[in-house]
Amino acid sequence: MIHQSAIIHPTAVIGNNVEVGPFSIIEENSKIGSGCRIGSHVIIGSNTILGENNYISHGAIIGSTPQDKSYQGEESYLIIGDNNTVREYVTLCKGTSKGDCFTRIGSNNFIMNYAHIAHDVLMGDHNVIVNNVQIGGHVHIEDYITFGCGSGVHQSCNIGRFAMIGAGSKVSQDIVPYSLADGPRSYIHGINAIGLRRNGFTNEEISTIKKINSILFRQKRTLDQSIEAINNLPPSEFKEHTLNFLNKSTRGIVRMKR
């Protein structure tokens, strides 16, 4: 059902069984996948592509112009996957030419009230973004990460999969996968043990992740020495993923407070 007060641009493509609430606006060249539900007073900006079965709640602004002073009005895009929940007053920006002009959000994410995701962000799947989280531009977010209420991430950081960031934390460097980070200036506080168990990790897998975490944060090694030591561990997907993450880091990693 599309409410009679909604405004939909003639070039917008609307899938099957889509609901659009009162006073919502869908701008030009946007695509809304089948089964999406869009609440009242929502703005879907131009060049925004939504997959199927997304829920966009009251007052959200999806696909807004990037908040970057270098943006000069070039064509830019926001692509969202399937089965996401985007709650009240969330803002999601399109990309800029300093990236590839795309912001990308995966599937099965839960983005809560007043969160902001800036231009050129690349987000994976199954993430939880709690109220008032602020994500800067060019941030890379992997999968199954939880961001606590009011946390903020500096531009161009990488956040590794299955990490947990505590409420009110300020993240200005990369968060290694499987880690627990917290504090007004974030520090690592070990592994995200509760999150790993909730997601079905075995005791043996958690033990392997603890060994990697110990090498990185509990032993007096440089990052290069830590990478060498991790490389000498028995083969595992956790070892390989962590090494790939570390080798891509450009801002350095958040460390454990000593």
**Residue 178 to residue 145: CA distance in whole angstroms:** 9
HSE-up of residue 176 (Cα within 13 Å, Cβ side): 29
CB 121 within 8 A of CB 103: yes
Contact 51, 80 (CB under 8 A): yes
- Which is the catalytic residue, given 99, 116, 120, 125? 120
- Point out the catalytic residue in the list 99, 137, 166, 195: 137
Q: Which one of 39, 68, 119, 124 is the catalytic residue?
A: 119
CB 148 within 8 A of CB 167: yes
Q: Minimal CA–CA distance to 178: which of 208, 222, 153?
A: 208
Q: Is 120 a catalytic residue?
A: yes
* CA atoms within 13 Å, Cβ hemisphere of 159: 35
**Residues 237, 238, 239, 240, CA torsion sign:** positive
Q: In whole angstroms, give the CA distance from residue 164 to residue 162.
A: 7
> Could you list the active site residues?
119-120, 137
